[in-house]
């Protein structure tokens, strides 16, 4: 049975129009479309040596020629919802114009990609509070020219008092239904780990940037003094009013006049502006070199007034974060996990994220001729979905903070393991089983028929500068409805809900441990040279979407914009990272732009298909592709959730 969800999922109204099966100048089977320019049927043949004479074409012939040329151009270059963006120098992709402008300003003033990426993220923490706040978390991938790719883990840890016993005996929150409590609260103060974003950004700036905190924070501070609120942020504040009113600090921050701001209304964040200015002042007052001044910013946040305010607010409101939790936290530089796919090198964060599933999926897909299958054909979608099921089964069973669990990563990322896993895929039938690699033993997880797969909320930042330095990040946490930590203006993260309470699981809650996050930026190299930087919001869908975009580019030769806008699908055959960690066997969500005949064949294979809106996939990447031969940067931004990109 095919399920048609006209309005998408989680109440999001699907927009757009039904498209055909061609994408980016390619036929529905992924082959280049060929176009012929035909002469009128009775036109005389031109003689090579015939004398030339002036011709005054009639208006009718001019109009016909114009129509012929226009039709030819349209046939060769399909229009996209967001216009193509190209440049020769630098490019920034994120959510809105405020964020992108912040990054471009820093680049124009001589900053590198890391400086601009930090500025863009800080601006997002002011202007995109619907999806991200500065009390959240962030993984960052950085590639400086001539240097190896580095990973920064700005993922906050569980407080010392956050134990399995505490959450198993907790009381029901006001918004939770009796007898239907989640293992970990999805909202509220008990969902919050130690804030990791600020130190993640400071570490990136210290190790790989060039500018002061004051300089990169300038745009964000200006926005706290007032900016016209976006449609999305206005709508989310309005939809969150019931919960925001439970927390006086959140009510005062988001509803300063007793109501949600209207779209385009100037919105001010004086409390957050005060905090950012205090951090700038701490840097200015510190003695020493640039690194020592940045350390002073860290100390003000994690060992000074901000930490004390977090401690006091949590004590007064039943939270768990203490001053000692804040003082002990440090973001870390990590080594990326690296895979290869047909000459491309794939860089992802480690097993404290879901990033390695991308390497697992590509290792399995390398054994198929995807181009011969054709773009989004039944065989192609079926193959990708079955590969996703196997990779995510490994994620759900084996991924977690490596400091607390031994992860069999050499096996999971090996080509030989992928070859064995590939044998499990039936080319004609969908699997309804959860099948992690058999070397770890079973762990009981919940199964449900609940039709929702929550994406939760996140943003994305991608920057490439003139030197072809690259910054790719997935800032998250502190999304609406968020608790504001006292008078700091900082939105507290809800990331603790991604822990599980299952004994022996690598992602089992423990004090001082990082939750296994869905956040998963991506950098791709080709022959040792930068090729692609991309990231996306979307929770469990992030790597499913990035996989499709990557293959659209490298297998079907789409531009980043075409690759992002192409019809997508996502598998819910996994244990969700949020809420009840539900498992939806065989559930496959497909956008309605995928042809009905394809959908019917997928159903016949055994997939439990839900048809969602034309543009209802919950991810929304930005991507920057680099052509090192001629220096051209080509960007893509997803119209599904109003992404924005600019270059020059």
Q: What is the pLDDT of residues 596-620, one digit of tens each?
A: 999 999 999 999 999 999 999 999 9
Q: What pLDDT does residue 438 have? A: 87
Q: Report whether 356 contacts 350 (CB < 8 A).
A: yes
Both tokens of 577, joined, read 């990272």
Token match 């994220």: residue?
Answer: 353
SS3 468: coil
Residue 613 neighbours by CB under 8 Å, 6+ apart: 5, 6, 7, 8, 12, 13, 14, 15, 16, 591, 592
Q: Report whether 475 contacts 197 (CB < 8 A).
A: yes
pTM of the model: 0.88
Q: What pLDDT does residue 456 have? A: 53
Q: Averaged in consecutive runs of 10 residues, what is the pLDDT profile of the chain (648 residues)?
A: 41 34 34 30 37 47 47 57 94 97 98 98 97 97 97 98 95 84 90 97 98 98 97 93 94 94 96 98 97 98 98 97 98 98 98 98 98 98 98 97 96 98 98 90 64 65 98 95 96 95 95 97 96 96 98 98 98 92 94 98 98 95 94 96 94
Both tokens of 344, joined, read 């491309």
Q: What pLDDT does residue 454 have? A: 53
Q: Residue 171, Cβ neighbours under 10 Å: how many?
A: 9
Sign of the CA dihedral running 181, 184, 185, 189: positive
Q: What pLDDT does residue 580 have? A: 86
pLDDT, tens digit (0-9, with 9 covering 90-100), for 520-535:
999 999 999 999 999 9
- Note the helical H segments in 399-479: 409-412, 415-422
Token match 């011969």: residue?
Answer: 372
Choices 3.40.1370.10, 3.20.20.210, 1.10.1660.10, 3.60.20.40: CATH for 3-7+335-425+520-647: 3.60.20.40
Q: Residue 598, Cβ neighbours under 10 Å: how many?
A: 22
Percent helix / strand / coil, the chain, rounded to 5: 35, 15, 50
Domain with CATH 3.60.20.40 in the chain: 3-7+335-425+520-647
Angle between helices 378-398 and 356-365 (to 10 degrees): 140
Q: Residue 149, Cβ neighbours under 10 Å: how many?
A: 19
DSSP characters over 363-403: HHHTTS-HHHH-TT-HHHHHHHHHHHHHHHHHHHHH-S-TT
């Amino acid at each position: 049975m095919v399920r048609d969800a006209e309005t998408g999922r989680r109440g999001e109204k699907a927009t757009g129009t039904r498209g055909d099966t061609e994408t980016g100048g390619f036929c529905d089977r992924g082959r280049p479309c060929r176009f012929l320019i035909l002469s009128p049927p009775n036109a005389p043949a031109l003689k090579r040596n015939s004398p030339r004479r002036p011709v005054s074409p009639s208006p009718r012939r001019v109009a016909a020629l114009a129509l012929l040329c226009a039709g030819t151009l349209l046939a060769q270059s399909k229009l996209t919802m967001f216009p193509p963006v190209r440049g020769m120098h630098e490019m920034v992709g994120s959510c809105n114009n405020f964020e992108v402008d912040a990054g471009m300003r820093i680049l124009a003033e001589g900053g590198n990609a890391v400086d601009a990426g930090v500025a863009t993220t800080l601006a997002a923490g002011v202007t995109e509070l619907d999806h991200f706040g500065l009390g959240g978390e962030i993984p960052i991938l950085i590639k400086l020219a001539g240097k190896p790719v580095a990973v920064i883990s700005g993922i906050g840890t569980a407080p010392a008092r956050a134990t399995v016993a505490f959450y198993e005996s907790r009381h029901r929150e006001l918004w939770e239904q009796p007898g239907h409590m989640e293992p970990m609260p999805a909202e509220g103060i008990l969902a919050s780990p130690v804030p990791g974003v600020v130190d993640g950004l400071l570490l990136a700036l210290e190790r790989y940037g060039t500018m002061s905190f004051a300089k990169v924070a300038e745009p964000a501070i200006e926005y706290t003094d007032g900016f016209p609120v976006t449609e999305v942020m206005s709508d989310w504040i309005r939809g969150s009013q019931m919960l925001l009113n439970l927390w006086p600090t959140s009510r005062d921050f988001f509803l300063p006049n007793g109501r949600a701001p209207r779209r385009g209304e100037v919105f001010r964040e004086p409390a957050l502006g005060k905090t950012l200015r205090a951090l700038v002042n701490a840097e200015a007052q510190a003695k020493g070199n640039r690194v020592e001044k940045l350390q002073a910013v860290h100390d003000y946040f994690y060992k000074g007034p901000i930490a004390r305010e977090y401690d006091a607010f949590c004590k007064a409101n039943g939270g768990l974060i203490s001053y000692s939790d804040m003082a002990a936290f440090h973001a870390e530089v990590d080594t990326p996990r690296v895979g290869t796919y047909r000459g491309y090198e794939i860089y992802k964060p480690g097993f404290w994220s879901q990033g390695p599933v991308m390497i697992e999926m590509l290792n399995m897909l390398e054994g198929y001729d995807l181009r011969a299958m054709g773009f989004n054909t039944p065989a192609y979608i079926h193959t990708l979905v079955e590969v996703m099921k196997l990779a995510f089964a490994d994620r759900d069973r084996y991924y977690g903070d490596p400091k607390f669990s031994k992860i069999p990563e050499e096996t999971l990322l090996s080509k030989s393991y992928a070859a064995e896993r590939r044998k499990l895929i039936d080319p004609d039938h969908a699997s309804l089983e959860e099948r992690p690699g058999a070397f770890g033993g079973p762990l009981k997880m919940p199964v449900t028929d609940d039709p929702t797969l929550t994406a939760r909320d996140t943003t994305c930042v991608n920057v490439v500068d003139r030197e072809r330095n690259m910054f790719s990040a997935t800032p998250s946490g502190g999304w609406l409805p968020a608790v504001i930590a006292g008078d700091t203006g900082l939105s507290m993260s809800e990331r603790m809900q991604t822990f599980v309470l299952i004994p022996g699981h690598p992602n089992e809650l423990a004090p001082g441990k990082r939750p296994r996050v869905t956040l998963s930026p991506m950098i791709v190299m080709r022959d040792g040279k930068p090729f692609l930087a991309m990231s996306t919001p979307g929770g469990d869908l992030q790597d499913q979407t990035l996989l499709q975009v990557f293959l659209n580019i490298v297998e079907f030769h789409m531009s980043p914009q075409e690759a992002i806008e192409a019809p997508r699908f996502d598998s819910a055959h996994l244990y969700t990272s949020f809420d009840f960690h539900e498992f939806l066997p065989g559930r496959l969500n497909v956008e309605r732009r995928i042809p009905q005949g394809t959908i019917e064949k997928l159903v016949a294979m055994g997939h439990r298909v839900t048809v969602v809106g034309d543009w209802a996939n919950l991810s929304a990447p930005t991507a920057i592709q680099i052509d090192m031969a001629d220096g051209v940067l080509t960007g893509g931004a997803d119209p599904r959730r109003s992404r924005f990109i600019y270059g020059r």
